Structure 1
Amino acid sequence: MPDTIEAEVLEIDGKLPPPPHQPEPTRREDPWQAMRGRVLKLDSRWWPVWVVLGIIALALALTVGVAVAAVIVVFKVIGGVLRLLIGAGGVGSRPGTSLSRQG
């Protein structure tokens, strides 16, 4: 295995080498704090992606809404049928009266 040779660069093509990059000691901020005061703009090249994602989100929201509405309608129909079957069985039963008020 060859030995490693270390050397300090004094000149490159007659010019001094750039100083080594040393990161500035700054306090780390949260990403949202670093964006404070800046205008956040979406890259204009990505607008088709946002349109497609918006359409997908809208379709999902509408699908969930229709499914919830269908479940509510089914429960109301079942409740009405049960109320019709159970409530209409007795003689002298009056519509609009509950079991607790009969007497």
Structure 2
Amino acid sequence: MSRLSPQEREALLFDLLDQLFDEKITTGALLKRLRREVLGMNQTRYAALASVSRRTLSAIENDSGTQSLGSLNRAFRPFGLSVGLLPRDRSTRQRLLTRSAS
């Protein structure tokens, strides 16, 4: 398991989500970093935890293939995340996220 404190894990999660929303990392890169840096798990262990196959997990992390919404949600569930719709336009997305935080 990771040696990060709960506060460090939360800070890393928020930092990575900010990077995702700013289009600096992909969804697959987000999942891979969370799996490794927050949980310290290999793909086999994490796939079992998330109830997806290792092959599906690998495809998600490499942003390849087409996974079902159910598979994506199972893959992100251990981090308290679900896949949802966000505006593609960055400024609209930022306005929405800023408005949600108020």
After TM superposition, the score normalised by the length of structure 2 is: 0.21
Q: Which has the larger radius of gyration?
A: 1
Q: Higher helix share goes to which structure?
A: 2
After TM superposition, the score normalised by the length of structure 1 is: 0.21
Higher RCO (C-alpha under 8 Å, 6+ residues apart): 2
